[in-house]
């Protein structure tokens, strides 16, 4: 599995793992893969705390950070909106729809004093700048940008500090734009992936992107949770795998029990690409929440970052009361996750997942090369 990307990043296996959870990131990097911490919802203080912890934990192994850098969002022309400005844009009708939904599912309000002040997702340059300062104050090996091409200030700073820039793309057009902007690695992410996705499947997207951006190396993402799928990714021309969903079903992941239960039971038909979570299409578990927002009678999800802002408090309530007697909050809770959820049928340690991926990859290569 020694590929160009493995060499660039200095890892044994070119298996990159996206997670919001620092324990998963550290466990992957310690096992020979490469952990990438998703920082879109972190405050600068939390990010500093998590990166300090990861750094101490991994003992010199490399790790990275991922941020959302969308080109299109409400307030982009003004350079981003603060919490108050965002709050003022939330329509009364949407608030009423949300209140009605929570009432229908008997989701209790939070006790006074437990409200977390919602802050808009860190998607504007003003929101991202402090996170970048923190990220670059740690010895990160890679910084990833999702939803838009890496801006010149990011490329310049990263290259000045010998940090590799990766950019996620859902189409060859986006991939070409990211490569022209100066990204060192393109992550070709198919529609079956968890989180924000385009409409093209991994099997079709990866070779198209490999050809479009050559000689820039490509990682395949979307639908990869096993050694056979990694072998397929390399066969398509990728230099490794970028994974996300599989790390929601590991012991180190900070995932609520109600979500773990749903993940273990879900089949590949139980996800949907919906705007109900963030305002941009993201693949997630199909739940009463997605059905309500995408169904008749819904005012429709708001554009990014308004939908997240509108629903932050509701999400906290739904998760808090997912197992409360008399509440049907459990039916509403979900998570971004890809179609490969079908393979997540037990909770294993991160170490076991990586070693089994590598073992199955080797078995696959032997089978294909006539060994058996
Ligand atoms: C829970 C979850 C949250 C995600 N959030 C982000 C994110 O904030 N930034 C990002 O670049 N990708 C995000 N993704 C996408 C992953 O980076 C990755 O591309 C995707 O999970 C790969 O497909 P897979 O889910 O089939 O493994 C997320 C994925 C999941 C499952």
Q: 348 forms bridges with which residues in the sheet?
A: 250
Query: What global pTM score does this model have?
Result: 0.96
For the chain, the average pLDDT equals 94
Determine the average pLDDT of the residues in 100-116: 88
How many residues appear in the chain? 372
DSSP one-letter code for 108 = P
Q: Is the pLDDT of residue 112 over 80?
A: no
> What does the block give as tokens for 269?
């038909």
Residue-level pLDDT at 360: 98
Query: Own/partner pairs for 265-274, CB < 8 Å, 24+ apart?
Result: 266/337, 266/341, 266/342, 266/344, 267/341, 267/342, 268/339, 268/340, 268/341, 268/342, 270/341, 271/194, 271/337, 271/338, 271/339, 271/341, 273/191, 273/197, 274/301
Q: How far is CA 14 from CA 7, 11, 301, in A?
A: 9, 7, 37
With CA atoms as reference, report the closest residue to 198 among 271, 308, 268, 283. 283
pLDDT band at 28 (very low <50, low <70, confident <90, very high): very high
Q: Is the pLDDT of residue 278 over 70?
A: yes
> What does the block give as tokens for 275?
């705007």
Parallel, antiparallel, or unpaired for β 15-19 and 241-243? Answer: parallel
Residue-level pLDDT at 118: 61
Q: Is the pLDDT of residue 240 over 90?
A: yes
What is the 195 CA–ligand 1 centroid distance (Å)?
A: 5
What are the pLDDT digits (tens) for 242-256?
999 999 999 999 999
Q: Is the pLDDT of residue 120 over 70?
A: no
- Ligand 1 in reach of 150 Cβ (< 6 A): no
Determine the average pLDDT of the residues in 2-11: 97
pLDDT band at 1 (very low <50, low <70, confident <90, very high): confident
- Ligand 1 in reach of 37 Cβ (< 6 A): no
What are the pLDDT digits (tens) for 308-339?
889 999 999 999 999 999 999 999 999 999 99
pLDDT band at 372 (very low <50, low <70, confident <90, very high): low
162 conformational bin, left if phi > 0, alpha if psi -120 to 50, beta if neither: left
- Ligand 1 in reach of 121 Cβ (< 6 A): no
Residue-level pLDDT at 117: 60
Residue-level pLDDT at 125: 76
- Angle at 194 (CA atoms; ends 28, 362), nearest 5 degrees: 45
Q: How far is CA 102 from CA 87, 227, 317, in A?
A: 19, 42, 9
What is the spatial distance between Cα 118 and Cα 87, in angstroms, rounded to a whole number? 9
Decide: 316 and 94 in contact? Cβ < 8 Å: no
What is the 4 CA–ligand 1 centroid distance (Å)?
A: 23
Residue-level pLDDT at 61: 98
What are the pLDDT digits (tens) for 358-369?
999 999 999 999
- Ligand 1 in reach of 38 Cβ (< 6 A): yes
What are the pLDDT digits (tens) for 55-99?
999 999 999 999 988 788 888 888 788 888 888 999 999 999 999
Q: Is the pLDDT of residue 371 over 70?
A: no
Q: Is the pLDDT of residue 166 over 80?
A: yes
- Ligand 1 in reach of 224 Cβ (< 6 A): yes
Determine the average pLDDT of the residues in 180-201: 98
CB neighbours (10 Å) of residue 68? 26
Which protein residue's CA is at the shortest distance from atom 15 of ligand 1? 195
Q: Is the pLDDT of residue 121 over 70?
A: no
SS3 249: helix
Q: Is the pLDDT of residue 116 over 80?
A: no
Phi, psi of 42 (to 5 degrees): -80, 150
What is the 108 CA–ligand 1 centroid distance (Å)?
A: 30
Determine the average pLDDT of the residues in 290-303: 96
With CA atoms as reference, report the closest residue to 278 among 41, 37, 107. 41
Helix (H) or strand (E) holding 318: helix 306-320
């Amino acid at each position: 599995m020694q590929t160009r990307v493995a060499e660039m990043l200095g890892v044994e296996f070119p298996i990159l793992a996206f997670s919001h959870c620092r324990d998963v990131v550290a466990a992957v990097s310690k096992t020979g893969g490469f952990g990438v911490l998703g920082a879109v919802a972190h405050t600068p203080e939390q990010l500093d705390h998590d990166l300090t912890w990861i750094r101490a934990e991994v003992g010199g192994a490399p790790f990275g950070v991922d941020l959302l850098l969308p080109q299109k969002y409400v307030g982009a022309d003004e350079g981003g909106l603060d919490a108050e400005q965002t709050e003022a844009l939330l329509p009364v009708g949407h608030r009423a729809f949300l209140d009605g939904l929570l009432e229908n599912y008997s989701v209790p309000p939070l006790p006074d004093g437990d409200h977390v002040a919602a802050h808009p997702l860190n998607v504007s340059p003003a929101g991202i700048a402090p996170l970048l300062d923190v990220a670059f104050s740690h010895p990160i090996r890679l910084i990833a940008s999702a939803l838009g091409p890496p801006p010149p200030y990011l490329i310049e700073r990263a290259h000045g500090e010998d940090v590799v820039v990766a950019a996620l793309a859902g189409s060859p057009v986006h991939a070409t734009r990211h490569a022209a902007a100066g990204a060192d690695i393109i992550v070709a992410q198919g529609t079956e992936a968890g989180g924000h996705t385009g409409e093209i499947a991994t099997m079709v997207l990866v070779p198209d992107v490999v050809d479009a951006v050559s000689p820039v190396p490509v990682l395949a993402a979307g639908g990869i949770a096993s050694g056979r799928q990694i072998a397929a990714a390399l066969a398509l021309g990728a230099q490794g795998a970028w994974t996300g969903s599989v790390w929601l079903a590991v012991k180190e992941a900070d995932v609520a029990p109600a979500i773990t239960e749903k993940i273990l039971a879900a089949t590949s038909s139980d996800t949907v690409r919906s705007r109900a979570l963030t305002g941009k299409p993201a693949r997630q578990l199909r739940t009463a929440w997605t059905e309500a927002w995408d169904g008749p009678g819904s005012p429709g999800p708001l554009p990014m970052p308004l939908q997240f802002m509108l629903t932050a408090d509701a999400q906290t309530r739904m998760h808090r009361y997912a197992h409360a007697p008399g509440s049907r909050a459990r039916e509403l809770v979900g998570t971004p996750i890809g179609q490969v959820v079908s393979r997540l049928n037990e909770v294993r340690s991160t170490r076991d997942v990586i070693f089994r991926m590598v073992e199955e990859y080797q078995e696959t290569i032997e089978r294909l090369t006539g060994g058996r």
